[in-house]
Structure 1
């Protein structure tokens, strides 16, 4: 288990075990690949980040992951792989989030991308993403770094 501080100095625990913090997490984050590029979304307030969001009532985390990718990027997920789970002990609440790796089949233009500006394709994630103001805080802690290493080892 990895323990570290996030962008806002909250304690984060990241594990690659099978759902160590919750069998029914309320949040998902999906690291996506499409045609040898990383597929992100450009959140209207936070900046560039991988798609993700809340699990809706009656929805499984895997379903939420596929839905969020579609809503925020227009992408159809071909394969979804569970990577791990992390827990953030924030000032006001504890957030538990599943992390997935998605292999995207196709990208379709949509009339709305909800709270985002739509898809962003990058050949590589910048090494100094922590210092880039156009990237979301979600991309600026060890969750991204650790999960990317695991994905590259297992899938890419």
Structure 2
């Protein structure tokens, strides 16, 4: 089943699915859990959000997940599972192809310096989207239906248990 809805930013539309629609992925989004707690990172300008980002030239998608988790949260991953993909269209043009992963974090180290995040938060429960919608501390990127739908997909996943 595919979901279609407006993106968090103006002139964006999103297609979300559990399938892999496009093999050439340029971004990753990570629902990471450390001891059953959801890991959020504080982006320097956007606020609290899930770890993730752009895939580097010559990097595999799995390498991007591992690197982004370390750079943004100081996390080392024990396991990674792809759970979906979403396509972001801007002005009707495909701009981003993001694979969505759920991961189990084995170790959280000190946050590396020189990257785009400046804090890590561990949450006992996955926040409901309505808790974040009017809270400016959360990134606009957390306020579209991707987070809402994927939170339902993962609510009983073994990684969410402590």
TM-score (norm 2): 0.88
- Name the residue aligned to 1:144: 147
The equivalent residue for 1:5 is 6
Q: Give SS of 1:58's match.
A: coil
Alpha-carbon distance between aligned partners in 2 of 1:111 and 1:67, rounded to the nearest angstrom: 11
Residue 71 of structure 1 deviates from its aligned partner by 0.5
Deviation at 1:140, TM superposition (A): 0.5
Distance in 1 (CA, whole Å) between partners of 2:62 and 2:23 is: 12
Q: Does 1:16 align with 2:18?
A: yes
Q: Which moved more, 1:145-154 or 1:39-48?
A: 145-154
Which of 134, 137, 140 is matched with 1:134 structurally?
A: 137
> 1:82 and 1:94 mapped to 2: Cα distance?
20
Partner of 1:74: 74
What CA deviation, in whole Å up to 9, does each residue of 1:19-78 have, x standing for no partner?
21x212101110111112111110000000011111011111111011100010001010
Structure-to-structure mapping, 1:1-156, within 5 angstroms: 1-9=2-10, 10-17=12-19, 19-20=20-21, 22-91=22-91, 94-112=95-113, 114-127=115-128, 128-155=131-158, 156=160
Report how far residue 113 of structure 1 moved: 5.6
Question: RMSD over aligned Cα, in angstroms?
Answer: 1.5
CA–CA distance in structure 2, aligned partners of residues 112 and 103 of structure 1: 23
Using structure 1 for the length normalisation, give the TM-score.
0.92
Contact 2:27 2:96 in 1 (8 A): yes
Aligned residues: 154
Extract structure 1 runs of 4+ deviating beyond 3 A: 153-156
Structure 1: runs of 5 or more not aligned: none
- Distance in 1, matches of 2:154 and 2:9, equals 25
Counterparts of 1:26 and 1:58, CA distance in 2: 11
Q: CA deviation at 1:111?
A: 4.3
